[in-house]
């Protein structure tokens, strides 16, 4: 996967662009990113915001090493399948995005 493919996948799966990065938010604070994808020229990294406000890199890989899972489409190589909590957080963000569209309310 390349930068564009990762961005498209993220936006289709509940991520939203915050400060120039595809990001996931807390359900209780939907404007504040707590997980973000940092997509550079040759590598992608997953960063998590620590309580102190600093970003910590938890996984990263070069684009050629990132592949979409044939069954789920989840990018392999960035830890989404091994780091607990990411799948649930992505589902919550996607559900919030879908329900916001159904009710016609702007995303909060």
Averaged pLDDT of the chain: 88
What does DSSP assign to residue 79?
A: S
Task: Collect all residues with Cβ–Cβ distance below 8 Å to 81 and sequence separation of at least 6.
Answer: 69, 74, 87
- Give per-residue pLDDT as tens, 13-22: 889 999 999 9
Q: What's the CA gap between 46 and 6, in Å, rounded?
A: 12
Q: What's the CA gap between 16 and 103, in Å, rounded?
A: 18
- Tell whether pTM > 0.85: no
CA–centroid distance for 20 within its chain: 12
Of the pLDDT bands very low, low, confident and very high (cuts 50, 70, 90), residue 27 is confident
Distances (CA, A) of 10 to 13, 52, 57, 104: 5, 26, 18, 22
């Amino acid at each position: 996967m390349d930068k564009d493919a990762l961005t498209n996948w993220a936006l289709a799966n509940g991520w939203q662009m915050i400060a120039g990065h595809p990001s996931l938010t807390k359900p209780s604070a939907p404007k504040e990113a707590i997980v973000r994808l940092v997509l550079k020229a040759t590598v992608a990294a997953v960063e998590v915001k620590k309580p102190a406000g600093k970003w910590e890199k938890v996984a990263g890989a070069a684009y050629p090493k990132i592949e979409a899972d044939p069954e789920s489409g989840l990018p392999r190589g960035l830890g989404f399948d091994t780091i607990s909590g990411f799948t649930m957080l992505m589902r919550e963000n996607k559900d919030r995005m879908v329900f916001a569209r159904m009710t016609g309310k702007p995303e909060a």
